[in-house]
Each structure stands twice: as structure tokens, then as C-alpha cells.
Amino acid sequence: MLHKKKFLTAAAGIALLTACGDTNNENAAEENHQEEANSNAEETEQNEQSEIEEEENENNSAAAVTEGGLEMPQISGETESLPQAVIETNMGDIEVVFYPEKAPLAVENFLTLAEEDYYNDVIFHRVIEDFMIQGGDPSGTGMGGESAFGEAFEDEFDPSLAHFNGALSMANSGPDSNGSQFFIVQAGSENLTEEMFEESGFPEETIEHYLEVGGTPHLDNRHTVFGHVISGMDVVDEIATVETEGADMPAEDIVIEDIVITEDME
């Protein structure tokens, strides 16, 4: 709602002045008052126009989300000029692309740790079929690991990224507790329905893609998505189906042998 300014009118009952000098003063006063009124009117018009433009921008922003105007690199398959890496495991290679403009801290953290060979010989310590595979903890317990920054870093939620099947995301123990652990979503669309998204507030394009490829929408805005699998999803599927023991740990070690960065950040 626009809030219009009210202006005071000139005081009524101005005394008539007969002398020439008094008349000039009166005319000057009236001219000054008129200039002030015009200036105030112009300022009001500018303020109203600014409020209208602000309201239009908000509406346009909302329309961009609800009408599919949101650019979603996971859906478009955008990889050009984006950093990429190959996670080499004893069960095969998984190639991923990263989104530094959307989640700069998470991407820098992962690539820095990878360059330092932090993830070499680390296992996927937690594997749940139709959910995800999780690794990145040198202790192999799910209780260890630290970030490249030396302390936990904040979450980075972006509406253009979601936990679609194949998403690369940060594991955490609560808000802003990101360290070295990560997971890859491995979940089909069999258990997803349109009714589940009725009050989700998700963009329509996001909902359609979830229903098409699957994923874990309940993790959105709880974990930071910072990349996506672009090759080797069959390896992820195979890892997800291995025999597990207590705490969903694979009976036989699934090892990250190396992470090779194939496209550096610019």
C-alpha cells in the first residue's frame, strides 16, 4: 500500500498590505510558498514512483520463482566454466560439477580439502539405499572431520539448488555446523507425489523436476547443496546397495582413493 504525504496549505486570512514594499513582500512570500509546494509535490511524486517500482520489483521477483524464471543449473545441466572433479573410489569414478556462485564457502571448502588430499583413503561410512551415501570423515565414524577453514562454516541455501537425485550436499549436525563431511543423494521419485508439495513453497520447476528424477526435498534449507553428479551415477547407485552393518556402515570399505580436480575455479 502506498503512503501518500499530506501537505499543509497556506494559512488563511493573510492581511492586505497597502504599501508598495509590503505588497512586494507579500508577492515574494507567495512565490516562495508556491516553490516550496511544487518542490514538496515533486518529492512526493518521486517517493510514490519509488514505492511503485519497489513493489513491481518484488512482484517480478516472485513471478521469477513461481513462473519458472529461476535459473537452475542442476536442471539445465550447466557445466561450462564451472569447477569439476572426479571422486575416484574402489568401486568406480563419480564425476561432479560445483556451483561456486551459489555456495562459495562449501565449494572452496571441498576443493581445498581435495587439493590437500584430505579425502584420500577416507571411506563412505554411511550408506542408505534410496536416500544417500555419506563420506568425508577421516575417522570413519561420522563423528569427525573439520573444514578447510579450521572451524565450522555457515549454511548456504539457494532456491536455485535442491536435493535432486545426484545432488552433492554438506552433511552437518545442525545449523551452520559444516565441516568436511558430505553426501550424494541417491533417491528415486517413487515415494514423491504432487500432494507432498502443495504447501512447500517450492518453484514449480523444482517440483516438476523432483517428480521426474527423484530426490530428498525434506533436506532443502537444512543442508547446503554445492554440486551435482554429472557422470558415474551408476557407481553411486551401486554403492548405495552394498551390504551394511550397524549405523548403516558398509560391511566392506568403500574407499575414496583420490579426488582429481579437472576444472579449477577461475
Residue-wise pLDDT tens digits, 100-123: 999 999 999 999 999 999 999 999
Same domain, 14 and 59: yes
> Within a domain: residue 3?
no
**Residue 3 falls in the annotated catalytic set:** no
Q: Which of 125, 163, 209, 223 is catalytic?
A: 223
Same domain, 182 and 118: yes
Report the chain's mean pLDDT, rounded to a whole number. Answer: 82
Mean pLDDT of 155-171: 98
Which has the higher per-residue pLDDT, 191 or 52? 191
pLDDT of residue 34: 56
**Residue 149 falls in the annotated catalytic set:** no
> Within a domain: residue 5?
no
Task: Read off the pLDDT band of 49 (50, 70, 90).
Answer: low
**Residue 172 falls in the annotated catalytic set:** yes
Q: Which of 105, 125, 126, 226 is catalytic?
A: 126
Mean pLDDT of 131-141: 98
Q: What is the spatial distance between Cα 42 and Cα 53, in angstroms, rounded to a whole number? A: 16
Task: Read off the pLDDT band of 185 (50, 70, 90).
Answer: very high
For residue 232, the enclosing domain spans 73-263
Same domain, 50 and 132: no
> Within a domain: residue 186?
yes
pLDDT of residue 230: 98
**Residue 84 falls in the annotated catalytic set:** no
> Within a domain: residue 202?
yes
Mean pLDDT of 231-239: 98
**Residue 124 falls in the annotated catalytic set:** no
Same domain, 121 and 205: yes
**Residue 182 falls in the annotated catalytic set:** no
Task: Read off the pLDDT band of 82 (50, 70, 90).
Answer: very high
Taking the complete model, does pTM exceed 0.85, yes or no? no
| Structural domain count, the chain | 2
**Residue 219 falls in the annotated catalytic set:** yes
Same domain, 148 and 179: yes
